[in-house]
Amino acid sequence: MAKKRPPPMNIGFNENGIDGTRQVLYRNFHQVEDTIYLVEISRNPKKVFVLLFPNFERPDVYIQEILTDKQATRLMNESDNIFENFIGKFYVKFNKL
């Protein structure tokens, strides 16, 4: 039985072009350095969005990284196409991913 994908976090209006109708590929809690984040990896037809939410109850506060489809594919291949391995390589410095 196929599971329905969760809806994307409602981050509201943003000037970065993060699509409100993006498709969620992965969402789970992970520890990045000393902080636990809700990590959402989502995409639209042209870009892949990596969003880290320090407080999932405030979706308007997040750290972002926007990748092209080609960049995301290369990085996922380096992580054996496993999201947990990909996220394990993250670090946050000066509130940037």
Please report, in tens digits, the pLDDT of each residue of the chain (97 residues total): 557 778 888 887 788 888 888 899 999 999 998 899 999 999 999 999 999 999 989 988 999 999 999 999 999 999 999 999 999 999 888 888 8
Q: Is residue 45 part of a domain?
A: yes
Put simply, whether the predicted model's pTM sits higher than 0.75 gets the answer yes
Q: Is residue 8 part of a domain?
A: no
Q: Is residue 97 part of a domain?
A: no
Token match 């995409």: residue?
A: 43
How many structural domains comprise the chain?
1
Q: Is residue 49 part of a domain?
A: yes
Q: Is residue 1 part of a domain?
A: no
Q: Is residue 13 part of a domain?
A: no
CA distance 97 to 32: 10
Q: Which domain holds residue 43?
A: 23-88
